[in-house]
Chain A
Amino acid sequence: MSLPNQLQDTFSPKELQFMVENEPIKIFPRFTTRQRIRKQRNDLLGTDSHRWKMMTMDDTSLNNMMAMQSTTVTLWIALLLKQQSKCNIIAPEWLTSKALDRALQFEQTNTLRFSPLPWDWLIISEILFKKAPDDFHDRVHELRSKIQDLREIRQLKVAKGIRYMNESHLQLDNLSLLEINELRPFISGIMDKLRDIHLAAVDAGGEDEMMGEEDDNDEMFNGTMRNESSRMS
């Protein structure tokens, strides 16, 4: 098979991580790439080894890094620099003890809604806990347990929300990338089946409606039947 079965119609967690790694994040670089006078000729020839020449991102910020001055780069670059001890990653604002407490509170007070955490909150936090644990101001195990609490409270909400599945549609605001992907096979599988059941009844009924008048008569007939029986009781 050109695509393994488990990757059809869905993504693997590593693929989700890949997507999220393309998002921007703030870092403190520990080295400087900005050059006062550019060696223009060298630059043009592309032989200047200091120059970042990227094809999937704007490389201006990479070519203008100043040691200990915050700048925004793509996450996977940040992780690579971090691995080489070339930068510190600045944890996003929502990934602090205080902000997570607020989110938890929202989850507890709103039983039917999800707190507006970023689209990639679970993935970003996992990545940063693993690859940049020393860059947090808060204690990582505390943050981790708060993320876990959030995850569990949201999973419970999802479990309760499942009964609203139907043959028509669902709106899933603030459900994040990983949460959607995790639920995908289950929700789409069940809703596809509900749709099949629904359509089986409607399609067969549709033929009745084609007959037009007869159908109307039938309904009137049914109506009188019901009236009679109610009179009788």
Chain B
Amino acid sequence: MSLDIDDILAELDRDTTAVEMSSEGPKQPGNDSMDILNSSLDGTKTVANGRSTSLKPKIISPVEDFNKLVTLWKNERCSPELLPYPHQLMRRMLIRIEEQMEHLEILSMNFFEESTNGGSSANGKRNSNAPANNNKMLPLLCMEAELERVKFVIRSYIRCRLSKVDKYSIYLRQINEQFLTEELEEDDMDNENRISPLETLMSSEEIQYHQRHFSLLLNLLNESVLKYMSDDLQAINDTEGSVNMVDEPDWNKFVFVKVIGPPTGENDFDPLLIHKLDPERYYYSITIPETNEDIELIIGSIYIVRYNLIKDLLKDDKIELI
């Protein structure tokens, strides 16, 4: 019966909600990444300990987490650039999946025992009473289906991210190099607290993947072409020429957006949000740089606009890509 403890923990974890900083990812990259480094898998619930004094801790339910994950998945698929990795959210999701799998295993073991017991005791009740048995199986069936659905979203999300890591391999590498040179120049001011942009952008597994992919790519290019050329023709990251060699995301790509508003729902507390009457509307104002044309992004409406103009709103969860 050593399993009981695990089960109780699983049950508790499912119902008690994880506590975390009110903002995740882009705004607090430092905290987020530090937590990854400092805490092992059991650290979810104590994440904000000791640091939550200045920030209001926010209660996040498993359902919210899942909905957020689906939104992130959709955003990732529609955005030209690689979006920041949700370290905390992903860790919570993975823990829940693991626990749910254990839970299901126990459930199905019980079913197996029950059905064999039922058969051997010659009772015959369960066997003859198929629908009742079926009713009992239903939750298990649904929970298994649910697990598959969660796994699907995570897989699809990660695959999408990896395809971008492939596509922008050199570009991502360049971001990191820029950061490293800046760091050297700035001496040791706050040096220890600085988190590399890649660590905010990617999970540690993704970073590893990126490094490996990059060295494979470099090796391939070197072995097949570059080593036969003179030194000055060997660059793969020349950005000075007439055409930039490094593929960057198309920042101005047209994307479909739905305007959500502040995640808290408190329209009047969002300094960026403009309130106008007749007709009454709350909107964000964005400006097309070359024409100075202002566009009203009204809450609840759908637009097709250039990615660059909305990417800050996207990272603040005020709009979603669709």
The interface residues of chain B, by DSSP majority, are classed as helix
B295 within 8 A of A: yes
A226 within 8 A of B: no
Give every chain A residue within 8 A of B291 (Cβ-Cβ). Answer: 168, 202
List, sorted by A's number, 8 A–B pairs whose CB atoms are closer than 8 Å: A54-B143, A55-B62, A55-B147, A56-B66, A169-B305, A170-B304, A180-B322, A195-B306
The interface size bin for chain A is 35 or more
Taking Cβ atoms with an 8 Å cutoff, the residues of B that contact A are 4, 7-8, 10-11, 14, 62-63, 66, 70, 74, 77-78, 80, 96-97, 100, 103, 106-107, 110-111, 134-143, 145-147, 149-150, 152, 156, 159-160, 162-163, 166, 250, 252-256, 288, 290-291, 293, 295, 301-306, 322
A213 within 8 A of B: no
Number of residue pairs across A and B with beta carbons under 8 Å? 151
Which residue of A50, A51, A172, A206 contacts B302 across the interface (Cβ within 8 Å)? A172
A128 to B253, CA, bound (A): 36
A167 to B291, CA, bound (A): 11
- B302 engages A180 (CB within 8 Å): yes
A49 to B109, CA, bound (A): 11
- A184 engages B256 (CB within 8 Å): yes
- A76 engages B106 (CB within 8 Å): no
A1 within 8 A of B: yes
List residues 62-84 of chain A with CB under 8 A from any CB of chain B: 62, 76-77, 80-81, 84
A169-B162 contact given A46-B10, A56-B149, A188-B254, CB 8 Å threshold: no
Which residue of A3, A76, A192 contacts B254 across the interface (Cβ within 8 Å)? A192
Q: Which residue of B lies closest to A171 (CB)?
A: B303
A120 to B198, CA, bound (A): 37
A171-B146 contact given A3-B163, A47-B106, CB 8 Å threshold: no
List residues 1-15 of chain A with CB under 8 A from any CB of chain B: 1-3, 7-11, 15
A103 within 8 A of B: no
Among A1, A54, A56, residue most surrounded by chain B Cβ atoms (within 10 Å): A56
- A169 engages B7 (CB within 8 Å): no
Give every chain B residue within 8 A of A198 (Cβ-Cβ). Answer: 290
Give every chain A residue within 8 A of B293 (Cβ-Cβ). Answer: 168
- B103 engages A168 (CB within 8 Å): no
A173 within 8 A of B: yes
Give every chain A residue within 8 A of B110 (Cβ-Cβ). Answer: 47, 49
Q: List 8 additional contacts besides A10-B78, A188-B304; criterion CB under 8 Å.
A: A1-B163, A2-B160, A8-B77, A55-B100, A80-B142, A169-B288, A171-B302, A188-B256
Give every chain B residue within 8 A of A203 (Cβ-Cβ). Answer: 290
- A10 engages B288 (CB within 8 Å): no
Q: Which residue of B lies closest to A81 (CB)?
A: B138
- B11 engages A46 (CB within 8 Å): yes
